[in-house]
Amino acid sequence: MMGNVVDYVKQYGDRDFSERPFGEADVLVLAMLSYLSFDGLVPTPAEHGSAVTLAQIDAVMDPEKVFENKMYLKRSRSLWAALKGSRRFWDMGCNYCRSRLEEGETMQFSAITFFPRGCLPVVVFRGTDETIVGWKEDFHLAFSRPVEAQRMSALYLTQVSSLMRERFMVCGHSKGGNLAVYSAIWADSFARDLVERVFSLDGPGFLPELIEEEAYEKIRDRVCRILPTSSLVGMLLQNYENYEVVKSSAFGMMQHDGYSWQIEDGVFVRAEEIQSKRKRMDEVLNRWIFAMPEEERELFVDSLFEMIERTGAATLTEFAADWKKNLKICVQYMRGLDEGTRRRIRQILRLLLEIYGNVTEAALKQELARMESKKQDRAFPIL
């Protein structure tokens, strides 16, 4: 039966890992579970506490705090309901929870380690949440090496490996996939030698100067990258590695949502390749990033997020909720920019509103045409 990650848990949750070995669908379960807020419920690495199970968390948690991430709110609740009472996951240990959100440093980081009974521990790095800070840090990947979350991921892996002292897997969705690969490269040699497998689920790649490092060669054959057929995030800075493609029930940018990925008989439903139109767009975007001097990339990202921050929104959900009003603020800001920067910013805005506001390309085009003078921008070529 084909379904998503919640359907997978419903179908196979009554089978423990001795009956059905840990597989790629389980990686996605844990990656999406990491978007829940376990702060204060799961011991930190510094506390050296005993692991707690999902059942123990459920007994004492405040759902409003655990499910505070609005981006996946309904689907996270559905996943938790499916996990509840399952032999496969409900008694799974959770430990070493570490979270930080620093607006001044443009840094959003969260990691947790799961201990499924009967298989290796899994270190999971959370992907980009809905905060403006988190997305700004993602864009910093295009011009800064390393970003603060990457540094923290390597420190986290070094620390927890010294506590576990056994082989383990590493995974993450979105930016979490990037952190999973980065941490495995740059953690100390003791941690790196204990890494069994690294899974990057639609995670962005790296600037060329990072992948040329000799350290990457030591983990290359342990890295598995999985992207949906219309991937943008996972193809960002994609220049170094093979990948596998999974089918999604969503369209366009919404395929980044791991809850849309198709699973049948406990494995991802494979597609042959990234959609050709999307692949061409991704190649153009990457050529632009790689060709632009670092100073220009940094100026572009700073301009983009200064504009978004002027709307007063703290999250992209807030930004999209009143998108017409916020778009007017953005258009006013863009009038002071050169045409090339305006074009690139409009492209990014379209993608963000598609993800967070379900705003169609036609609706955005119509609104922009109404707001902007024909003299300034008649064709809207990239929209």
pLDDT digits (tens, 9 = 90+) for 290-341: 667 777 777 777 787 888 888 888 777 788 788 888 888 888 888 888 887 7
Give residue 306's identity as a one-letter amino acid code. E
Find out whether 28 and 256 touch, Cβ atoms under 8 Å.
Answer: no
Instruction: Tell whether the model's pLDDT for residue 240 goes beyond 60.
Output: no
Domain boundary among 246, 275, 304: 275
Instruction: Tell whether the model's pLDDT for residue 246 goes beyond 50.
Output: yes
> Residues 7, 225, 358, 147: is their CA dihedral positive or negative?
positive
Which of 127-136, 182-191, 211-220, 371-380 is the least confident region?
Answer: 371-380
In the numeric block, the tokens 């990072």 are attached to: 210
Q: Which spans in the chain are helix H?
A: 5-12, 24-33, 54-60, 63-66, 73-83, 132-140, 148-164, 175-186, 189-194, 208-211, 214-217, 276-291, 294-309, 316-321, 323-334, 339-357, 361-371
Instruction: Please tell me whether residues 251 and 309 are part of one structural domain.
Output: no
Which pLDDT does position 9 carry in this prediction? 97
**Is residue 287, in this structure, part of any structural domain at all?**
no
Instruction: Please tell me whether residues 304 and 249 are part of one structural domain.
Output: no
Give the number of residues written for the chain.
383
Which pLDDT does position 296 carry in this prediction? 75
**Tokens (6 digits) for 137:** 């840090």
Taking all residues of the chain, what is their mean pLDDT, rounded to a whole number? Answer: 84
Vertex 24 angle, CA 115 and 244, to 5°: 140
- The per-type count for the chain, helices as H runs and strands as E runs, is 17, 12
> Residues 177, 181, 277, 136: is their CA dihedral positive or negative?
positive
What region, left, alpha or beta, does residue 96 occupy, with left being phi > 0 and alpha being psi -120 to 50 degrees? left
Domain boundary among 215, 242, 275: 275
Instruction: Tell whether the model's pLDDT for residue 212 goes beyond 50.
Output: yes
**Is residue 383, in this structure, part of any structural domain at all?**
no
User: What are the two backbone dihedrals, phi and then psi, of residue 331, each rounded to the nearest 5 degrees?
Assistant: -65, -40
**Is residue 353, in this structure, part of any structural domain at all?**
yes
**259 or 236: which carries more pLDDT confidence?**
259
**15 or 145: which carries more pLDDT confidence?**
15
Which pLDDT does position 375 carry in this prediction? 43
Question: Which band of pLDDT confidence, cut at 50, 70 and 90, is reported for residue 374?
Answer: very low
Count of domains forming the chain: 2
Instruction: Please tell me whether residues 16 and 99 are part of one structural domain.
Output: yes
Averaged pLDDT, 223-247: 77
Which pLDDT does position 285 carry in this prediction? 65
Instruction: Please tell me whether residues 90 and 58 are part of one structural domain.
Output: yes
Question: Which band of pLDDT confidence, cut at 50, 70 and 90, is reported for residue 255?
Answer: confident
Instruction: Please tell me whether residues 225 and 307 are part of one structural domain.
Output: no
Which pLDDT does position 338 carry in this prediction? 81
Instruction: Please tell me whether residues 129 and 205 are part of one structural domain.
Output: yes
Instruction: Please tell me whether residues 207 and 309 are part of one structural domain.
Output: no
Q: Could you give the CA distance from residue 45 to residue 113 in angstroms, rounded to a whole number?
A: 10
Which pLDDT does position 156 carry in this prediction? 98
pLDDT digits (tens, 9 = 90+) for 52-105: 999 999 999 999 999 987 778 899 999 999 999 999 999 999 999 999 977 655
Nearest CA to 209 out of 287, 152, 146, 139 is that of: 146
**Is residue 377, in this structure, part of any structural domain at all?**
no
Which pLDDT does position 91 carry in this prediction? 97
Instruction: Please tell me whether residues 270 and 199 are part of one structural domain.
Output: yes
Beta bridge partner(s), residue 224: 199
Domain boundary among 275, 303, 323: 275
Find out whether 33 and 58 touch, Cβ atoms under 8 Å.
Answer: no
Which CATH number belongs to the domain containing residue 101 in this structure? 3.40.50
Which range of residues forms the domain containing residue 163? 2-275
Residues with Cβ within 8 Å of 89's Cβ and at least 6 positions away in sequence, in order, are: 9, 13, 29, 54, 83, 116
**Is residue 315, in this structure, part of any structural domain at all?**
yes
Instruction: Tell whether the model's pLDDT for residue 370 goes beyond 70.
Output: yes
pLDDT digits (tens, 9 = 90+) for 140-179: 776 667 888 899 999 999 999 999 999 999 999 989 999 9
**Tokens (6 digits) for 83:** 């996990």
Instruction: Please tell me whether residues 262 and 296 are part of one structural domain.
Output: no
Q: Give the strand pairing for 244-246 and 223-228.
A: parallel
Which pLDDT does position 97 carry in this prediction? 97
Question: Which band of pLDDT confidence, cut at 50, 70 and 90, is reported for residue 382?
Answer: very low
Q: Could you give the CA distance from residue 197 to residue 204 in angstroms, rounded to a whole number?
A: 18
Which pLDDT does position 66 carry in this prediction? 94
**Is residue 123, in this structure, part of any structural domain at all?**
yes
Distances (CA, A) of 342 to 60, 301, 346: 49, 12, 6
Instruction: Please tell me whether residues 324 and 187 are part of one structural domain.
Output: no
Find out whether 222 and 196 touch, Cβ atoms under 8 Å.
Answer: yes
Which pLDDT does position 80 carry in this prediction? 98
Which of 40-44, 188-192, 220-224, 283-287 is the least confident region?
Answer: 283-287
Instruction: Tell whether the model's pLDDT for residue 261 goes beyond 90.
Output: yes
**Is residue 224, in this structure, part of any structural domain at all?**
yes
In which element (H, E) is residue 198 found?
strand 195-201
**Is residue 359, in this structure, part of any structural domain at all?**
yes
> Residues 252, 254, 256, 257: is their CA dihedral positive or negative?
negative
Find out whether 42 and 66 touch, Cβ atoms under 8 Å.
Answer: no
Which pLDDT does position 254 carry in this prediction? 75
Which pLDDT does position 11 carry in this prediction? 96
Instruction: Tell whether the model's pLDDT for residue 379 goes beyond 50.
Output: no
370: number of Cβ within 10 Å: 11
Instruction: Please tell me whether residues 229 and 340 are part of one structural domain.
Output: no
**Tokens (6 digits) for 50:** 């005993």
Q: What percent of the chain has pLDDT over 90?
A: 48
Instruction: Please tell me whether residues 361 and 234 are part of one structural domain.
Output: no
pLDDT digits (tens, 9 = 90+) for 95-141: 999 999 776 556 789 999 999 999 999 999 998 766 677 677 677 77
